[in-house]
A and B are shown apart, each in its own frame.
Chain A
Amino acid sequence: GAGVSQSPSNKVTEKGKDVELRCDPISGHTALYWYRQSLGQGLEFLIYFQGNSAPDKSGLPSDRFSAERTGGSVSTLTIQRTQQEDSAVYLCASSPRRASETQYFGPGTRLLVL
């Protein structure tokens, strides 16, 4: 595709439910990132995938958060037992190889936990 796509664009869920957010990076990009952006806040790094290497999970806020990247392309961010403080925009970005190159962002998934 022409750019990074994310789905769903909006998600409303009840506290305690699990959610899955999807990211399709730009074709051929080996690096993929997930960020979280709360209302009026900056970008908070969550996790970074690079090729077949073990992901950098240092930004995940709790063990309720996990992510996987299948086949080096599509990635899924899963939040288990959602809490109201998980409400935010979840952004995915990809770059050709690594963080030292420009990252291209998707439109984000707006998650609201009631």
Chain B
Amino acid sequence: GESVGLHLPTLSVQEGDNSIINCAYSNSASDYFIWYKQESGKGPQFIIDIRSNMDKRQGQRVTVLLNKTVKHLSLQIAATQPGDSAVYFCAEISGANNLFFGTGTRLTVIP
């Protein structure tokens, strides 16, 4: 979710469990949302996106849920694997050029 101070929020899960990563966005006019995964030492990679006219979208082992009423976005990862350990960022886009990233959540998968 939201970060406080200088430290990323963290989430630790057991391998095989489901993970839920949350993100609160600020702009009710945002109409496009993206989840990125960033592994240590690498740039962010696209995972899944959703437009504001949807409330759910599924990919391979991942699901994004959008609740526009409370301006909340979540990423669900099914059967979490060690390779899922990374920092996950949500990004909100409004209009053509306004892109804002959340601070990120660090997911650690315990074997």
User: Chain A residues in contact with chain B, CB under 8 A?
Assistant: 4, 33, 35, 40-43, 45, 48, 50, 56, 91, 93, 98-100, 102-108
Nearest chain B residue, comparing its CB with the CB of A6: B43
Within 8 A of A (CB), among B1-59: 3, 6-8, 31-32, 34, 36, 41-46, 49
CA distance A103 to B93 in the complex (A): 11
Chain B residues near A (Cβ < 8 Å): 3, 6-8, 31-32, 34, 36, 41-46, 49, 89, 91, 93, 95-104
**Is B3 a contact partner of A99 (Cβ separation < 8 A)?**
no
A71 to B3, CA, bound (A): 39
The answer to whether B7 touches A40, judged by C-beta atoms less than 8 angstroms apart, is: yes
Indicate if the CB atoms of A108 and B93 lie closer than 8 Å: no
Distance (Å) between the CB of B50 and the closest chain A CB? 12
Contact between chains at B49 and A102 (CB < 8 Å): yes
- Inside 8 A of B8's CB, which chain A residues have their CB? 40-42
Residue of A nearest to B8 (CB): A40
Contact A105 B97 (CB under 8 A): no
